Each structure stands twice: as structure tokens, then as C-alpha cells.
């Protein structure tokens, strides 16, 4: 019983309550699958208590990584097993009523040494776990728990990281939602978006598509509104020169992407360029944009080297290569969904149908 009081920080209980009540709106009888690591034990216990109070059942999937597949097993298993989840995991995916994926690594590079062809098969299997989330069939939330590894990756002490995480999550989400909705209405009414910044001049079309405001539901921290641009509309170039990007255990820097007809036609990076090429060649949809997101969270002002936080930085935008969201009209299909963040707070701007609506990270509407 002593384990049930692992944390004395009241913010952990408030965080668990937020995830259960606002993010998932848990109802009696629901089966909520929680995927995380032992590092997040205080949050898991708090979540179990909150679910119990709602008359719901936690289904725990605790491993050394938050992937559905353990990388140690994936490094040695026959390849014919890697592309599909085990039957018992498929059953859980088919029958869960909601899911929480809580990133809490002991080492942020776990799995990065997996051979690319094996990693691709693992991601194929993982798509089955996320398929009902991506189609909005069930409520879900992706979040994080403060660990030493995440704090170190962000260049912070653990206490500093905790302050940022809880400060960006435990806010007035209704008020933030109203603010972001005003901005999103302007994007909904526009056809063309132009993004201009350091090394960047890129246009996208949103014609006929409406966005969604993340006001503290599917991601925590929330604080963005997002679209799936028309798949063949991207024209121009974008350069991610402000801070690094991490994906699938690899860190990238200095990424530059040139688009024509909606597809990446030229690419380069100052770090991990060969891995960038591997990702772009992953499948037919990996060179197209699945998402345009606009970061708005006032509690996030500096890069954390974690996309869950960085894509919400107030005054940033992010483009996701690969899989798009069906719920906002996206049609691109891919085994990857890689959010890469561009900071517009120093010399950047966003135009809608030729009118500047944001400059240097500040809204003009």
C-alpha cells in the first residue's frame, strides 16, 4: 500500500483528474487502456483512483517504452512477427473504450538502434493500436510524465521540467479554447496559407477544409489548432533552423524541405540527413503534408526537445509529414506522422489569402 503514496505533489492528482475528466470524459463502465512505463507510477496510481471514482476500469500496459512493441524483442524476433500485434493486444485495441499514452522514458533514445527495416515493421504493427484514435472512434489523449530523461533532453532540472509541464497543462482550457477559436475561424474562412520566415516561403491550400482546436482534449498539453491541407497544394520551401527535431529516437537539425505539387522534391539536414531520406522514402504518403498546426500555448515559450510540447509553443507552426487526420478532411495515408516545428517569433509571419494575420508570433486579428 505504500506505493499508492509515491507522490506528494498535488499537481499529479490534478493532472490525473484533468486527463480522466476533460480529456477523456470517462463514463461508468468504460475500459481505459493506459500505456506508459514504470517511471510514471505516481501518475498511474492517481489515474487508477480517478477511474475508480468514475466507475471505470484501467487496463494497464506498462513496459520499458510506450510503444506497443518492445524494442528488445523487436531486435531479435523473426521479421514475420514484427508487422502484426499479438492477438491479445489486438483484442485490447478492438475493445478499449479510451486510451491514455503517457510518455515517461528512462532513456529518450531507447529503440534508436533498431535496424530501419525492423523499425518500419514495428511501426506498421503500431498503426493498429492507433487506428481507432486517428479516426476519432474513441476518446484518447497523449501526454507525458516528468522524468529525468525528459528533463535532461530539455536542458532542465527535473523540478524545472515539472513546473513547465504542469504550468502548460493546468490552465483555464475553456478560455484558451475561445481564444484559439477566434484565430481558427479566420483560417476556416481562407483558402490559401502562406508561411514566411528564415529560409522559408511556403504556401498551402485549406480550401474546403475546416480545422480543429485542441483546447485540452486529445493532447496534454494542448494549445494548438490544426488542419490537413490539400494533399497536392504545398509549394515552396521551409527551413527548420531554430531548434532540433526528434523522431523515432533520432535527433535532426537544420532540416530543409522543398515542395512541389504537394510533395517533397528536395531535402537536406545538417544532422542525420541519411535518416531523413529514409523517412521520406518510407512509403507513398511520407513526402506529403498530413497536418498544419498553429501553436498557441502561453505556458510554452522555449523548446523542450519533445514534440508534444514544442508543437504548442506560442508563436510557432508545425507541419507533419505523413498520415493526416480524417476528422479534418485529410486523405493522406502513411506509416509516419512526423511533426516538425518552425519558430516564427523572430522575423516570421503567416498570411491568409494575402493578408498578414500573425507577425513575429503576435496575432494581428
Residue with cell 484559439: 180
Q: How far apart are CA 225 and CA 251, in angstroms?
A: 25
Summarised one tens digit per residue, pLDDT across range 43-96 is 999 999 999 999 999 999 998 888 777 888 888 989 889 888 889 999 999 999
What pLDDT does 4 receive? 46
Summarised one tens digit per residue, pLDDT across range 308-341 is 999 999 999 999 999 998 889 999 999 889 999 9
Residue ranges of the chain with pLDDT lower than 70? 1-7
Q: Does residue 55 sit in helix, strand or coil?
A: coil
Query: What stretch of H or E contains 338?
Result: strand 337-343
Q: How far apart are CA 275 and CA 278, in angstroms?
A: 5
| Sign, Cα dihedral of 186, 289, 296, 144 | positive
Q: How far apart are CA 312 and CA 318, in angstroms?
A: 9
Residue ranges and CATH numbers for the domains of the chain are: 2-169 (3.40.1830.10), 173-363 (no CATH)
What pLDDT does 1 receive? 39
Residue 186 grid coordinates: 479566420
Query: What stretch of H or E contains 16?
Result: helix 10-17
Q: Does residue 184 sit in helix, strand or coil?
A: helix
What pLDDT does 6 receive? 65
Amino acid at each position: 500500500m505504500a506505493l499508492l503514496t509515491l507522490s506528494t505533489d498535488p499537481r499529479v492528482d490534478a493532472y490525473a483528474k484533468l486527463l480522466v475528466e476533460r480529456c477523456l470524459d470517462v463514463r461508468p463502465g468504460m475500459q481505459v487502456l493506459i500505456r506508459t512505463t514504470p517511471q510514471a507510477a505516481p501518475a498511474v496510481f492517481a489515474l487508477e483512483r480517478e477511474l475508480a471514482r468514475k466507475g471505470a476500469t484501467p487496463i494497464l500496459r506498462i513496459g520499458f517504452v510506450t510503444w506497443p512493441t518492445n524494442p528488445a524483442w523487436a531486435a531479435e524476433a523473426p521479421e514475420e512477427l514484427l508487422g502484426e500485434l499479438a492477438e491479445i493486444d489486438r483484442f485490447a485495441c478492438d475493445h478499449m473504450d479510451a486510451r491514455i499514452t503517457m510518455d515517461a522514458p528512462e532513456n529518450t533514445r531507447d529503440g534508436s538502434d533498431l535496424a530501419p527495416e525492423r523499425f518500419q515493421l514495428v511501426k506498421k504493427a503500431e498503426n493498429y493500436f492507433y487506428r481507432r484514435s486517428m479516426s476519432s472512434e474513441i476518446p484518447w489523449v497523449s501526454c507525458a510524465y516528468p522524468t529525468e530523461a525528459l528533463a535532461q533532453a530539455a536542458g532542465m532540472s527535473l523540478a524545472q521540467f515539472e513546473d513547465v509541464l504542469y504550468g502548460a497543462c493546468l490552465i483555464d482550457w475553456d478560455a484558451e479554447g475561445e481564444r484559439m477559436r477566434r484565430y481558427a475561424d479566420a483560417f476556416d474562412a481562407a483558402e490559401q496559407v502562406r508561411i514566411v520566415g528564415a529560409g522559408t516561403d511556403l504556401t498551402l491550400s485549406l480550401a474546403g477544409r475546416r480545422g480543429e482546436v485542441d483546447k485540452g482534449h486529445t493532447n496534454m498539453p494542448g494549445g494548438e489548432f490544426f488542419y490537413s491541407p490539400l494533399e497536392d497544394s504545398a509549394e515552396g520551401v521551409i527551413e527548420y533552423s531554430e531548434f532540433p527535431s526528434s523522431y523515432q529516437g533520432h535527433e535532426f537539425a537544420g532540416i530543409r524541405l522543398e515542395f512541389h505539387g504537394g510533395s517533397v522534391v528536395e531535402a537536406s539536414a545538417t544532422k542525420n540527413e541519411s535518416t531523413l531520406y529514409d523517412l521520406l522514402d518510407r512509403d507513398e504518403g511520407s513526402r506529403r503534408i498530413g497536418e498544419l498546426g498553429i501553436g498557441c500555448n502561453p505556458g510554452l515559450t522555449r523548446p523542450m526537445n519533445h514534440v508534444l510540447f514544442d508543437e504548442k509553443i506560442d508563436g510557432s507552426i508545425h507541419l507533419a509529414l505523413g498520415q493526416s487526420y480524417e476528422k479534418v478532411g485529410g486523405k493522406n495515408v502513411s506509416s509516419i506522422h512526423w511533426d516538425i516545428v518552425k519558430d516564427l517569433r523572430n522575423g516570421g509571419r503567416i498570411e491568409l489569402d494575402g493578408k498578414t494575420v500573425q507577425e513575429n508570433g503576435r496575432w494581428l486579428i
